[in-house]
Amino acid sequence: MTKRLTVLFFIGFCVQLQSQIKQNSIIGTIHNDSISVEAIHIYNKNTHKGTISNEYGVFKIPVKENDTLVFDGIQFQKKEIIITSEMLKTKNFDVILSQNINELQTVEIKNHTLTGSLNIDASQVKKPPSFVGNDALNFSNIDLNVVDDIDEMDRRKPPDPYGGDSSLKFVGGVNLLGIVGFVLSPITNEVGKIGQHKRKTKQAEKVFQLKAMNITDQIKSDFGLAFFTDKLNIPREQIDAFLIFCKSKNLAGLYLNNHKIELIEVLIEESQAFKKEFKN
Cα three-residue angle 54-37-204, rounded to 5 degrees:
90
- CA gap 228, 46 in Å, rounded: 35
pLDDT at 207 (0 to 100):
58
CATH number for domain 23-96, candidates 3.20.20.140, 2.60.40.10, 3.90.1300.10, 1.20.1440.120: 2.60.40.10
pLDDT given at position 244: 86
For position 57, what pLDDT does the model report?
92
First to last CA, the chain: 40
Q: What is the 3-state secondary structure (H, E, C) of 109-157?
A: CCCCCCCCCHHHHHHCCCCCCCCCCCCCCCCCCCCCCCCCCCCHHHHHC
Q: How confident is the model at residue 221, as a pLDDT?
A: 87
Query: Is a pLDDT exceeding 80 seen at residue 102?
Result: no
The predicted pLDDT at position 245 comes to 87
Instruction: For residues 178-185, give the mean pLDDT.
Output: 60
Question: Kind of pairing, strands 49-52 and 174-175?
Answer: unpaired
* Strand pairing class (58-63; 24-31): antiparallel
- Whether the pLDDT of residue 201 is over 90: the answer is no
DSSP-based three-state secondary structure for 1:
coil
Under DSSP, is residue 79 helix (H, G, I), strand (E, B) or coil?
Answer: strand
Q: Give CA–CA dist 167/122, Å, rounded.
A: 61
Other residues' Cβ atoms within 10 Å of the Cβ of residue 184: 11
User: 76: Cβ–Cβ under 8 A, 6 or more apart, which residues?
Assistant: 32, 35, 40, 97, 98, 99, 100
Angle 44-47-51 from CA coordinates, rounded to 5°: 45
Euclidean distance between CA atoms 70 and 145, whole angstroms:
90
- Dihedral sign for Cα 17, 20, 24, 26, please: negative
Domain-wise residue ranges, the chain:
23-96, 215-277
- The pair phi, psi for residue 157, each rounded to 5°, is -85, 150
Task: With CA atoms as reference, report the closest residue to 56 among 92, 79, 30.
Answer: 30
**What is the arithmetic mean of pLDDT over 218-239?**
90
How far is residue 1's CA from residue 21's CA, in Å, rounded to a whole number?
31
Residue type, 98: S
Best-predicted range by mean pLDDT (104-113, 148-157, 208-217, 231-240): 231-240
Q: Which residue has the higher pLDDT, 267 or 125?
A: 267
Judged against a pLDDT cut of 90, whether residue 60 lies above it is answered with yes
Q: Which residue has the higher pLDDT, 126 or 86?
A: 86
Model-level pTM greater than 0.75? no
d(CA 130, CA 150): 38
pLDDT at 252: 86
Instruction: Tell me what pLDDT residue 44 has.
Output: 96
pLDDT at 53: 93
Q: How far apart are the C-alpha atoms of 280 and 226, rounded to whole Å?
A: 23
Quote the pLDDT of residue 5. Answer: 52
What pLDDT digit, counting tens, does each position of 131-154 carry?
Answer: 555 655 565 655 555 555 555 555
pLDDT averaged over every residue in the chain: 75
pLDDT at 52 over 90: yes
pLDDT of residue 140: 61
Q: CB neighbours of 68 closer than 8 A, spacing ≥ 6? A: 44, 45, 46, 80, 81, 82, 83
Using the predicted structure, report yes or no on whether residue 213 has a pLDDT greater than 60: yes
Of 108-112, 126-130, 218-222, least confident by mean pLDDT is 108-112
Confidence of residue 1 (pLDDT cuts 50, 70, 90): low
Q: What is the DSSP letter of 77?
A: -
